[in-house]
Amino acid sequence: MVLLISEKLGSVYTLDPDDNDVLCFTPLNKDNTYSSNFEDYDEIDWLSIAGEEEYIGIELNRIHSLLKGELK
């Protein structure tokens, strides 16, 4: 499982192993630890971030693109 840490968003990201188009996340703990168990990851709800600040969508799209490139 390839992971990408975003300190900007305070989360760790990966792609769903069954569907490489699905971006998933888990929180980054205060001590910079995180779960490596995929069962602890949730799917990004792209519709819900539409109402968030613009930088969040930009960062999530950047992360998604990086992970998809890493797994090709």
* Counted domains in the chain: 1
pLDDT of residue 7: 92
Q: For residue range 6-50, list pLDDT tens digits in order.
A: 999 999 999 999 998 999 999 999 999 999 999 999 999 999 998
Which residues constitute the domain of residue 45?
4-71
pTM: 0.90
pLDDT of residue 70: 61
**Burial of 15 from C-beta contacts in 10 A (0-12 / 13-18 / 19+):** buried
